[in-house]
Structure 1
Amino acid sequence: MRKVAGMKLTNRLVAFVTLIVVCAMFVLFIGGAVSFRKLGTDFLSHYLGKVVAEIDHAIANPTSNENIGLWLPQLLKASDVVELEISSKTGMLYRYEQVQTAVKPLELIENHYDLPSNPGFYIKIRSVPPYADFAYSIGAMSSLSLAVLIIVLALTWGIKWLRIQLLGAELLEHRGRLILAGRAEDVQTGDDREWPSTASIALDQMLVELRDARQERSRFDTFIRTNTFLDKLTGAANRVMFDNRLQTLLQDKGAQGAVLMLRIGDWESLTQEVGKSGADEWVKEVGNVLSNAVQRFPDAVLARYYDTEFALLLTHQSAKDTRLFANQMMKSLARLSPPEPLEEDNWAHMGMTFFSTGERRGRLMEEVDMAKRSAVLQGSNGWHAFKKDVAADDARGSVRWRTLLTRVFESGGPELYRQVVKDVHGELLHTELLARIKDENGLIIKASRFLNGVELVGMNTTLDRNVVTKTLHQLRNGDGREVLSLNICAESLRQRAFQRWLRDVLLQTPRSVLNRMQVEISEGPLVQHFDAVRPTLRMIRALGCALVVDQAGRSVVSTHYVKDIQPKYIKLHRSLIRDIHQRPENQLYVRSMLGACEPTSTEVLAVGVESEHEWNVLMQLGVQGGQGRFLGAELSSSPATLKRQRWRKK
């Protein structure tokens, strides 16, 4: 992969030009110094050669030879000669030496000359080097100083001019860095000063096409998910999504609830009387009433099962509450004024049946269909429940939930179970912490069951504070490498008191610990309260904690949050994973989610992997990791359980 250069183009060119000029000046100074020294040495040799010629002439002339001791010392002193010896093979004829000299003996220049007029005689002269007594003089070096000043000023002006000329290239480079940093939306249109202009215009066009392609890709992915799992007319779930959720729920341990089926009577007469458009408007009106009625149940699923039938799935609700809900819903439907062909008091008939873990989906749909037919035979608007043996009703009201949860929090809070999350190569990505509580009889209750009670009594923040505190404690006392992921409710992130508490706790935690903690939030509540929780999620991410969006695909929503909060992982809901090798529509949904995350660094993980067939199909689709009993079972985090698990491994 190509890496981005760390040094800007302008800085590199400026450094290159400056280095070239400095090197040229250095070479010029070295050459000038060598030339000056060579000229001085040549001048000294030429001057001393004249002195030697005079001495040679004086020795050859007997008259001058007698007076050589008188004029030669003054001449040598004026010529900066420190030592002079006139010798021959027979011995030294004359020696001169200055007593005081400021030059070190090692710095003196020594020359040897033969006397042509006096064969056999030679002179050895040690003199002061040229320019030894000279210092820097403004007058003498004014031309050189002026040249250096001109070069420096020209270099400064040249660098400034070069920066101005390359400003456009630097702006284009800065724009490219922002694009590589994932901020292409901030630089859709470039500056007019960018250079080369052709590259800038081409980049503008490419960004526009990329934005249109991403929008089209997002619309296409949303269209796929909508047409795969949603009804076009009412916007409710369709039969495929309803069957997926029901099948997944029936295979979960401890699941219970009810299935309701509402039928709109005499559809053919209604279509003939008011037309297809009029009948569709009536179906939409009924669907709005049902949608408003199920808002009180966050886990409920409303689906248009057939053209004239709506199906409702209620989870973890008692038979008493379900019957009460059926009565209230029928009263809401009775307030509607049906079109002319329909009888006002005999057009809505609903069947009901209850289920528990392990039952077959086909059998349940037969039971609810039989109950619906019984309601039709009653001849009036109403509902009928299929008669079957129902397990003991352990539903709790607000008082029982408050009592249980208060006891749990007073005794230290919920117990955190662990389940590993692995990538396609089997390597550990992180470990998710799952909250579990025990009821009065010591039975383990999953979060999917007691979260409704937590919301009912308003203990969301108490639960989340307890989970965050326990997670940070495990991270501080762990081996320093384990990455833990915890779940936080969107309702808690909306509250100012919890936001301030979470901020203070995270600020007091070392960065090395926060980098090993991940915060998970469900997709549905996240999209519903996105504007309220977005600042808190950005704060969490800025402090070093990774964000994870779980239960993706539980409801069909837009994935615009991926680009905004940039989660590290998106975890698909288990209803999409169950028997995915036999459900092409679920595979299409997973491909759509992978396509939505492709332009970003977000990875898609699958939750609820139970078999090798499911895992193989998920890897073929391109999912980056998974979680489930096939990859690792849920294990308790208590010290005794961990010790027993280690002993079993050994």
Structure 2
Amino acid sequence: MKFTKILTKKITSFWLLSLSGVAFVFLLCAVMSFIQLAYQFQQNKISELESMVLKHYQHQGVRNLEAWLPSVLTAYHVDQYSLSVDNKILFSFQAPQPSESNLRHYQRVIEPQSGLTMTMDVQSFYLQHRLGWYELIILFIGLLAIGIFVRLSLSWLANELAGIEQLAERSQLILEGDLSSAKQAVGKGRPRMINRALSRLLDDLEDAKQERSRLDQFIRANTFLDPVTQIGNHLYFENRIDALTHDNKMIAYGVIFLLEFDNDALLYEPTDIEANKVYLTQIVEVITPLIAEINDVIFARRTPSQLVIVAPQLSLAEADILASRILKNCLVLEHRQIVNHDNYLHLGAAFYKAEDAQLQIIEEAEMALRAAQLQRFNTWFMYDKGAVDKEIAKGSVRWRSFLEYALVNKRFFVLTQPVFDSDNTQLHYEVFSRVRDNQDNEIRATLFIPMANKCGLMPQIERQVLERVLFELMPNNELTYSINLTLDSLTSRAFTRWIRTSLLEHRKLAERLVFEVSEEVFIKREHDEQVRKTLVMLSGMGAKLSVDHVGKQVVGTHYIQSFEFDYVKLDRSIVRQVHQRPENQLYIRSLIGGIFRTKAQVMAEGIELLEEWQTLKILGVSAGQGPFLGDTLIV
């Protein structure tokens, strides 16, 4: 931070101005005194001359004046002199080298009886004075002493105010919001009491922020997390499953698993409740690594005896493998309360496709669970749905070939959805991507994006989408567009080099871009530093930053302050039916309170009802998007 010296400059300027004023007054008084004394001295000399001339005239008349008067007049620096009676000149004098300016004219009657009048032009006495070397030395020494005094005074003043300067610097850092630097810049600020008070207040503020973050996370955890297993509870499950639906129908394919324990054997045994909790925790720890690589997976405790797993974008073959692994790994764990180890754990699974009703797939999963329980031994059962969507049935190799073909032939196109603020003023458009197959059918992003992630093609796809926005949409209007970036793109050197070069060439377009990053990127923290560099670069180019899908996971808000986002977008799982869910409203209030002192504005996606939009505005949400505010349009 640049050293400001605010207070020192003000005090020094005032001090120098005061010193200059005093010096000017003293100098003015000295000059006036010198002129006055010189004038008085000259008047005395002229009076003496009058006395000498009058005395001579009274005794000798005008005789012998030429003998001594010219010498006296020359000594008095008289240019012209005349002595007359009744306008008759008795004596006159003219200096050999008369002055042309700065002359004083005198005309006096020195003897009223005879009318003797003396007239003369004489130089001003103060102009006749010339400084000698002795006087110049004295003047130089005086000026040098003044300069040394001023320099020493400034050094002393700066040294005395150094502590106040450090306080001013810390205060400036606090006003700029750089509290960490202000906390470190303790120095030797004076008055020391104020410096210690600032340090203590900064410590208390940091503790308060951490406590607020802990409190917010505590509120969210107690609202959406199961206290025993620390995974989602039934509210969390309902929110997330609703987010995967549109009009209560699924928007993508996947599998739902229900894992249930035998009640009599485990959960309602009152003698060893703590052991049951430990066992459940071990079950969760076993299952978590198995589903860690599945995007947008839902893992929750639906009832005291039942765990639910919803795995979007999972094929039938992958679902069979996952079900077998879950059951096998869970059966390895032992619990001494279980009487019949051969029949206490069952798993039911149901495959769902897009457009399947939410209640229907849950009922199918429960039917599969009952079928597994009827087997009378530990097993799993998959509900048979019959035909599978041909797009789902594509293997990874076919998907990769198709996506590469679509990239080469530029078959990706974009859709836009408007984003409005709380006053229904349009802020910008969010860009969504789609792709057309060989039969010119539109393939949903929920289908091709998971496969593109598996194939590592998201940077190329997002580059093609961004090229369409930069070079086809933005030159034709003055609108702002929001574009999603995945972790693969943010950590891809080729993509970051390309986007840096493109934004440098089109700097004005960068100011009309908003880059959105999923909250999941910051939860994993595997590439935290690389992601930070890319986001700082984009922000430095003038683009705005947004984090979306906020609320999908139960995490703190510290990363929002760390990355300085401009927008925070609530996930549709929090927004859906928010007017009927006090828990979701509590979460939103907690989130807004946690980022109150940041520049981030809270937005919402997936708004489908007027009641949702009204409730969100009452809670303090700044902007929103969704079918209620405006549908997506093909560009």
2:563 matched residue in structure 1: 565
Maintained 8 Å contact 1:371/1:386: yes
**4+ residue stretches of structure 1 with deviation over 6 A?**
none
Give 5+ residue unaligned stretches, structure 1.
Answer: 638-650
Identify which of 592, 610, 616 aligns with 1:612. Answer: 610
Amino acid at match of 2:24: F
1:272 matched residue in structure 2: 269
CA distance in 2, matches of 1:503, 1:104: 78
2:398 matched residue in structure 1: 400
1:578 is displaced (CA, Å) by 1.0
CA distance in 2, matches of 1:422, 1:119: 110
2:76 matched residue in structure 1: 79
Identify which of 209, 213, 217 aligns with 1:214. Answer: 209
The alignment of Structure 1 onto Structure 2 pairs a total of residues equal to 628
1:570 is displaced (CA, Å) by 1.4
1:527 aligns with 2:523: yes
Maintained 8 Å contact 2:62/2:90: no
1:199 matched residue in structure 2: 194
Give the direction of change, closer, same or farther, for the CA distance of 1:543–1:136 in structure 2 (3 Å limit): farther
Identify which of 237, 259, 269 aligns with 2:232. Answer: 237
CA distance in 2, matches of 1:118, 1:436: 126
Amino acid at match of 1:525: V
1:459 is displaced (CA, Å) by 0.8
Q: Secondary structure at the match of 1:132?
A: helix
Identify which of 6, 9, 12 aligns with 1:8. Answer: 6
CA distance in 1, matches of 2:604, 2:590: 14
State how 1:249-648 maps to structure 2 within 5 Å. 249-251=244-246, 254-268=251-265, 271-272=268-269, 275-319=272-316, 321-337=318-334, 339=336, 341-356=338-353, 360-386=357-383, 392-395=389-392, 396-412=394-410, 414-473=412-471, 477=475, 482-506=479-503, 508-509=504-505, 511-528=507-524, 529=526, 530-637=528-635
Maintained 8 Å contact 2:244/2:251: no
Give 5+ residue unaligned stretches, structure 2.
Answer: none
1:127 aligns with 2:127: no
1:454 is displaced (CA, Å) by 0.8
1:151 aligns with 2:146: yes
1:309 is displaced (CA, Å) by 0.8
Give the direction of change, closer, same or farther, for the CA distance of 1:582–1:149 in structure 2 (3 Å limit): same
Give the direction of change, closer, same or farther, for the CA distance of 1:87–1:447 in structure 2 (3 Å limit): farther
CA distance in 1, matches of 2:462, 2:131: 79
1:494 is displaced (CA, Å) by 2.8
Maintained 8 Å contact 1:490/1:526: no
1:165 is displaced (CA, Å) by 1.5
Maintained 8 Å contact 2:338/2:344: no
1:145 is displaced (CA, Å) by 3.8
CA distance in 2, matches of 1:281, 1:556: 22
CA distance in 2, matches of 1:18, 1:359: 83
Comparing 43-52 with 212-221, greater Cα deviation is found at 43-52
Q: Secondary structure at the match of 1:188?
A: helix
CA distance in 2, matches of 1:406, 1:45: 111
- Cα deviation 1:80-115 (Å, max 9, x = unaligned): 1112344566566655433533x433x222233223
Give the direction of change, closer, same or farther, for the CA distance of 1:241–1:77 in structure 2 (3 Å limit): same
TM-score by length of 1: 0.88
Give the direction of change, closer, same or farther, for the CA distance of 1:546–1:251 in structure 2 (3 Å limit): same
Comparing 230-239 with 384-393, greater Cα deviation is found at 384-393
1:141 is displaced (CA, Å) by 4.5
Amino acid at match of 1:491: D
Q: Secondary structure at the match of 1:261?
A: strand
CA distance in 2, matches of 1:232, 1:280: 10
Amino acid at match of 2:80: E
Maintained 8 Å contact 1:374/1:384: yes
Maintained 8 Å contact 1:524/1:557: no
Give the direction of change, closer, same or farther, for the CA distance of 1:535–1:342 in structure 2 (3 Å limit): farther
Give the direction of change, closer, same or farther, for the CA distance of 1:161–1:137 in structure 2 (3 Å limit): same
- Cα deviation 1:507-537 (Å, max 9, x = unaligned): x346544343332211112220224423333
2:42 matched residue in structure 1: 44
1:71 is displaced (CA, Å) by 4.1
CA distance in 2, matches of 1:89, 1:630: 117
Amino acid at match of 2:514: Q
CA distance in 2, matches of 1:423, 1:172: 41
Give the direction of change, closer, same or farther, for the CA distance of 1:455–1:357 in structure 2 (3 Å limit): closer
1:240 is displaced (CA, Å) by 0.8
Give the direction of change, closer, same or farther, for the CA distance of 1:434–1:119 in structure 2 (3 Å limit): farther
Identify which of 100, 103, 121 aligns with 1:104. Answer: 100
1:586 is displaced (CA, Å) by 0.7
- Cα deviation 1:379-429 (Å, max 9, x = unaligned): 233333446676744213212322221222112363233233333233444
1:648 matched residue in structure 2: none
Comparing 263-272 with 40-49, greater Cα deviation is found at 263-272
Give the direction of change, closer, same or farther, for the CA distance of 1:285–1:377 in structure 2 (3 Å limit): same
Maintained 8 Å contact 2:39/2:126: no
CA distance in 2, matches of 1:6, 1:188: 18
Amino acid at match of 2:71: Q
Maintained 8 Å contact 1:431/1:484: yes
CA distance in 1, matches of 2:83, 2:510: 91
Maintained 8 Å contact 1:266/1:342: no
Maintained 8 Å contact 1:56/1:117: no
CA distance in 1, matches of 2:272, 2:499: 57
1:288 is displaced (CA, Å) by 2.8
1:573 is displaced (CA, Å) by 0.8
Q: Secondary structure at the match of 2:106?
A: strand
Maintained 8 Å contact 2:5/2:165: no
1:587 is displaced (CA, Å) by 0.9
- Cα deviation 1:526-579 (Å, max 9, x = unaligned): 220224423333343344433221111111223221232222221111111111
Amino acid at match of 1:65: V
CA distance in 1, matches of 2:627, 2:179: 41
1:278 is displaced (CA, Å) by 2.3
- Cα deviation 1:322-367 (Å, max 9, x = unaligned): 4454345444445555656354443332333344556554444333
Q: Secondary structure at the match of 2:134?
A: coil
- Cα deviation 1:424-468 (Å, max 9, x = unaligned): 233444433222222333333343332101112111221233344
Q: Secondary structure at the match of 1:166?
A: helix
- Cα deviation 1:261-316 (Å, max 9, x = unaligned): 22112445565397222222332233233323322321221111111111122324
Amino acid at match of 1:248: A
Maintained 8 Å contact 2:297/2:309: yes
Give the direction of change, closer, same or farther, for the CA distance of 1:472–1:30 in structure 2 (3 Å limit): farther
CA distance in 2, matches of 1:91, 1:356: 137
Q: Secondary structure at the match of 2:206?
A: helix
Q: Percent identity?
A: 29
- Cα deviation 1:134-191 (Å, max 9, x = unaligned): 4443412444443333232222212211122221111111111222222222343664
CA distance in 2, matches of 1:319, 1:485: 35
